Amino acid sequence: MTARFSIRFVKPVHINRTLEVSAKLRDERGRRLDIRGELRDGEELLADAEGWFVHVPLEHFLRTPEGRAAGEAWRERLG
Protein backbone atom coordinates (compact mmCIF):
# COMPACT_ATOMS: atom_id res chain seq x y z
CA MET A 1 0.00 0.00 0.00
CA THR A 2 1.20 3.51 -0.71
CA ALA A 3 2.22 5.49 2.36
CA ARG A 4 3.82 8.45 0.56
CA PHE A 5 4.48 9.09 -3.12
CA SER A 6 5.80 12.09 -5.05
CA ILE A 7 6.65 12.72 -8.69
CA ARG A 8 8.83 15.54 -10.04
CA PHE A 9 8.45 16.26 -13.74
CA VAL A 10 11.73 17.60 -15.13
CA LYS A 11 10.79 18.00 -18.80
CA PRO A 12 7.62 17.60 -20.86
CA VAL A 13 6.69 13.98 -21.55
CA HIS A 14 5.85 13.42 -25.21
CA ILE A 15 3.13 10.99 -26.24
CA ASN A 16 3.42 8.20 -28.82
CA ARG A 17 7.04 7.43 -27.90
CA THR A 18 8.69 4.45 -26.29
CA LEU A 19 9.91 5.51 -22.85
CA GLU A 20 11.94 3.69 -20.20
CA VAL A 21 10.65 3.34 -16.65
CA SER A 22 12.98 2.07 -13.94
CA ALA A 23 12.66 1.61 -10.20
CA LYS A 24 15.05 0.64 -7.45
CA LEU A 25 14.51 -0.49 -3.89
CA ARG A 26 16.60 1.90 -1.78
CA ASP A 27 15.79 0.60 1.69
CA GLU A 28 13.63 -1.97 3.42
CA ARG A 29 12.77 -1.72 7.10
CA GLY A 30 10.31 -4.26 8.35
CA ARG A 31 7.23 -3.90 6.15
CA ARG A 32 8.24 -0.45 4.81
CA LEU A 33 9.83 -0.20 1.36
CA ASP A 34 11.62 2.95 0.15
CA ILE A 35 11.58 2.99 -3.67
CA ARG A 36 12.93 5.50 -6.21
CA GLY A 37 12.03 5.56 -9.89
CA GLU A 38 12.82 7.38 -13.10
CA LEU A 39 11.16 8.01 -16.45
CA ARG A 40 13.56 8.50 -19.37
CA ASP A 41 13.49 9.14 -23.10
CA GLY A 42 16.82 7.59 -24.05
CA GLU A 43 19.39 9.30 -21.84
CA GLU A 44 17.10 12.26 -21.09
CA LEU A 45 15.50 12.30 -17.62
CA LEU A 46 11.84 13.31 -17.89
CA ALA A 47 10.63 12.63 -14.35
CA ASP A 48 11.72 11.08 -11.10
CA ALA A 49 9.68 9.70 -8.25
CA GLU A 50 10.09 8.42 -4.74
CA GLY A 51 7.78 6.73 -2.36
CA TRP A 52 7.32 4.72 0.78
CA PHE A 53 5.18 1.64 0.49
CA VAL A 54 3.97 -0.79 3.13
CA HIS A 55 3.91 -4.50 2.34
CA VAL A 56 0.47 -5.93 3.09
CA PRO A 57 0.01 -9.69 2.70
CA LEU A 58 -2.46 -10.83 0.06
CA GLU A 59 -4.47 -12.62 2.74
CA HIS A 60 -5.41 -9.24 4.21
CA PHE A 61 -7.24 -8.28 1.01
CA LEU A 62 -8.80 -11.70 0.53
CA ARG A 63 -10.71 -11.30 3.81
CA THR A 64 -13.11 -8.83 2.18
CA PRO A 65 -15.81 -9.67 -0.39
CA GLU A 66 -14.24 -7.18 -2.83
CA GLY A 67 -10.82 -8.76 -2.40
CA ARG A 68 -12.13 -12.26 -2.93
CA ALA A 69 -13.98 -11.16 -6.09
CA ALA A 70 -10.83 -9.48 -7.45
CA GLY A 71 -8.77 -12.59 -6.64
CA GLU A 72 -11.26 -14.82 -8.43
CA ALA A 73 -11.27 -12.50 -11.48
CA TRP A 74 -7.45 -12.74 -11.67
CA ARG A 75 -7.59 -16.51 -11.31
CA GLU A 76 -9.98 -16.71 -14.27
CA ARG A 77 -7.75 -14.43 -16.39
CA LEU A 78 -4.69 -16.54 -15.67
CA GLY A 79 -6.55 -19.69 -16.67
Which residues are bridge partners to 51 per DSSP?
5, 35
* Homologous superfamily, domain 2-78: Hotdog Thioesterase (3.10.129.10)
Read off the pTM.
Answer: 0.71
**Looking at residue 79, what DSSP letter applies?**
-
Please write the tens of the pLDDT for every residue from 27-66. Answer: 999 999 999 999 999 999 999 999 999 998 888 888 899 9
Q: What is the mean pLDDT of residues 54-79?
A: 87
> What pLDDT sits at residue 58?
81
Domain boundaries along the sequence of the chain: 2-78
Question: Could you tell me the pLDDT band of residue 71, with boundaries at 50, 70 and 90?
Answer: confident
The CB-side HSE value for 41 (13 A sphere, CA atoms) comes to 11
Collapsing DSSP to helix, strand or coil, 4 comes out as strand
Question: Taking 90 as the threshold, does the pLDDT of residue 75 lie above it?
Answer: no
